[in-house]
Structure 1
Amino acid sequence: MKPAEIERLHSILNLWPLGVIQSVEEILNGAVNQVYRVQASLGNFYLRLYKTSERARVEREHALLEYVASYNLPAVQTLPSRYGTSLIEHDGKFGALYFESPGHQVKKSDLTVVHARAAGSMLARLHKVLKPLPDVGYRKYSLNWDAKEWIARLDKIEAVILQKPHLSEADQWVLYRLKDQREWMRNPACLHSYVPKFSAQVLHGDYHQGNLFFQKETVCGVIDWDQAVYMPRGFEVARVASYMFDLKPDLTMAFLEAYMALNPLPQEELEDGAAAWGCHCDHYVWAQEEIYLHGNERARVFIPDTAYKPFSEVWAQLTKKL
């Protein structure tokens, strides 16, 4: 980091009683907020500088953390600032300092059925605790897209890539996936809108291995609650099966069995959630636009290194095996 950046970070960190700051390291695996690991004489923490300028959104997140922790579930908490607040504002940006979670994170490629069961059990417990909460402005997915508009967005991304003087292997892979996604957008079987049949509740919204910490056979830490949503729980269950486990039969089965053992999910409700998530998943263009239209290379980690396949197709194959 440049001296000016280090000085800026130290001026922000002085807003908390940390003692002597020993090191500050930027964490580059996030795609939205700026995150830094801080080692200080008081302990190890994570500083998050939020991209959003919506104070209410961040305050909702912090209230949610306290609520979940009150039920002895491992939502990683914030360290109060010198002013007694969980949230600070510095140079027009909101920030918060989080305690370091115990345990360790696991790469997607290293996930086992043990991790899948642990993730399923924790998600089931979280959903039960979160169910009574009212909607106080949480994000909702609008599952309604204009097919022509979405095809045009894919065309725009493709045009930007083709203008590059040299195409990397990653660029070529994105072009390959864009082609198949565009063909599916034109397929009459592709759903461009969906209205879930089951009621919504507060959900974590971004539950996956990058936001979980494991200790032996349990999840001991859940971080990044700023994407909390108000949607049917089947939507999040299907999202985790897809996003975290790539719908691999052994991992998905272990995850679903562990979830349903603690928080039963009828087949009809699961299928409703899968249809809702599939409709959203098939129209996903955020990562491609972030990379090629906004220059955010961090988003590249969200593009799978597999061929594009409609979610409904993969889900149908999986449910036959289940």
Structure 2
Amino acid sequence: MCMTDVRARFAADELAIVLSHYDLGFIHDIREFPRGSHLAAKLIISTDKSKYILKRRPKGKDDPRKVAFAHALQLYLAEKNFPLPHLVGTRRDNNSMLKIGDAIYEVFEFIDGGPYDMGLLPTYQAGKTLGLYHQLVKDYDSEYEPPPGTYHAAKSVHDSIPRMGEVLRTRPSAEGRERELNATVAQLREIYAMAAGAANEAGLPKWAPQIIHSDWHPGNMIFDKGHVVAVIDYDAAREAPRVVDIANGCLQFSLVTGDRDVATWEDRTDMERARRFLRGYDEMAVLTHAELKVIPLLMQEALIAQAISPILKRGTFAGLDGFDFLKMLLRKLAWLQANAGVFELDSQEG
């Protein structure tokens, strides 16, 4: 195992000091919670009062002002009864963020539930919950500056695409295929630029910005009987036109994947799930025809952007060979380009 894959943990003395700052009740059980980033130490703490998650933020995610922005947003949403795990304040001053030395800690209530099962009801509910989120934060004015930038028309994304090729040249899968690798990377860069340009030509830069979640995907939701009982992880929240969120959510909830052999993955987007997601959203916050037009363009951008960080770090994506993964992305991008018109919603659709 690579050392970077070792999950962060709490030291016993560290844990005792942190828990002394909270009034969680009589502790019955403490166990590891191996979910999410392996860089963030997490524990489930069961007490006579309730069940909680204790988290130590990893380096790079511990800027106090960014944490304060995310916490203020969550506290605002909690006041509006939006489904999310409530932050637990410290014993002394009810602060949602505990800072000890260079480390920042958080405690959340634990929400029981299950993962996304790819069914049509949870897909619809995921879209509907995003619509509710956007409605609630539409006029939210934070005292903290929202982080800048999204995956759309981002210079950082455009410039990082060729760097994936540099990383992948050293992998066995690219041996003797350098010309093919170069062509793949060049195509991805061209598709990204064309999709971003087309979205901008459709008027996206002029659309009103608001707070978005920016990481709306199945792993950030807890479900129960097809309904969303909690939305988690607000670290990526920022300000942008809402359609940037909608398109990424539509992509994440309509992806068609497969086994470890990405060459066998289908090209298509699951349009039944995509439409159900968009229908759910539309019932809470009406989608415009202009937004529906740019959604497949933004989905192309998001599909490319999400591959960059893991491939640059490891040459892989979720353990899959990076070169093979990019070849598969080209097929899915071609499908999105050829089927952009199918994202229009039929007003008669249920």
> Normalised by the size of structure 1, how large is the TM-score?
0.81
- In structure 2, the partner of 1:255 is 277
Aligned CA distance change for structure 1 residues 314 and 40 (closer, same or farther; 3 Å): farther
Counterparts in 2 of 1:318 and 1:3: CA distance versus 1, 3 Å? closer
283, 288, 294: which one aligns with 1:266: 288
Instruction: Indicate how the Cα distance of structure 1 residues 105 and 278 shifts in structure 2: closer, same or farther if over 3 A, else same.
Output: same
| Unpaired segments ≥5 residues, structure 1 | none
- Confirm or deny that 1:137 pairs with 2:145: yes
Distance 1:298 1:60, change over 3 A: farther
Query: Distance between the aligned counterparts of 1:2 and 1:93, measured in 2?
Result: 13
* Structure 2 residue 124 is the aligned partner of structure 1 residue 117: yes
Distance 1:129 1:311 in 2: 33
Q: Following superposition of structure 1 onto structure 2, how do residues 42-53 of structure 1 map, counting pairs within 5 Å?
A: 42-51=49-58, 52-53=61-62
Answer whether contact 2:253 2:274 (CA < 8 A) is retained: no
Give me the whole-angstrom Cα distance separating, in 1, the residues matched to 2:181 and 2:30: 42
Please tell me whether the aligned partners of residues 180 and 308 of structure 1 are also in contact (alpha carbons under 8 angstroms): no
Question: Shift in Å at residue 191 of structure 1?
Answer: 2.7
Contact 2:53 2:108 in 1 (8 A): yes
Per-residue CA deviations over 1:257-309 (Å, capped at 9, x if unaligned) read 111122111121233354345335424411112335xxxx99649x8978112
Does 1:223 pair with 2:232? yes
Alignment match, 1:275: 297
Deviations 1:141-182 (A, max 9, x none): 2523379843541133114434xxxx8xxx99xx9x976751
Alignment correspondent of 1:82: 91
Corresponding residue SS for 1:261: helix
Residues 4 and 208 of structure 1, relative CA distance in 2, 3 Å threshold: closer
Residues 8 and 41, structure 2, Cα contact 8 Å, conserved in 1: no
In structure 2, the residue corresponding to 1:307 is in which secondary structure?
A: helix
Residue 99 of structure 1 pairs with residue 109 of structure 2: yes
Change (3 A) 1:298 1:224: farther
Paired residue secondary structure (2:194) = coil
- Counterpart of 2:165 in structure 1 is 155
**Alpha carbons of structure 1 residues 276 and 245: separation in structure 2 relative to 1, 3 Å:** closer
Residue 140 to residue 318, structure 1, CA distance change in 2 (3 Å) = farther
| 3-state SS of 1:220 partner | strand
Q: Give the secondary-structure state (helix, strand or coil) at the position aligned to 2:171.
A: helix
Query: Which of 152-161 and 230-239 deviates more?
Result: 152-161
Structure 2 residue runs of 5 or longer lacking an equivalent are 1-6, 256-268, 344-350
- What one-letter code is carried by the residue in structure 2 that aligns with 1:264? V
Q: Secondary structure at the match of 2:132?
A: helix
Query: Is the contact made by 2:195 and 2:298 (CA closer than 8 Å) also made in structure 1?
Result: no
Secondary structure of the residue aligned to 1:253 is: helix
In structure 2, C-alpha distance between the alignment counterparts of 1:123 and 1:93, rounded to whole Å: 32
Asked if structure 1 preserves the Cα contact closer than 8 Å seen for 2:304 and 2:329, the reply is no
Match of 1:96, SS?
Answer: strand
Question: What is the alpha-carbon distance in structure 2 between the residues aligned to residue 188 and residue 2 of structure 1?
Answer: 38
- Distance in 1, matches of 2:10 and 2:32, equals 15
Judge conservation of contact 1:282–1:310 (CA < 8 Å) in 2. Answer: no
1:11 aligns with 2:43: no
Secondary structure of 1:73's counterpart equals: coil
RMSD: 3.5
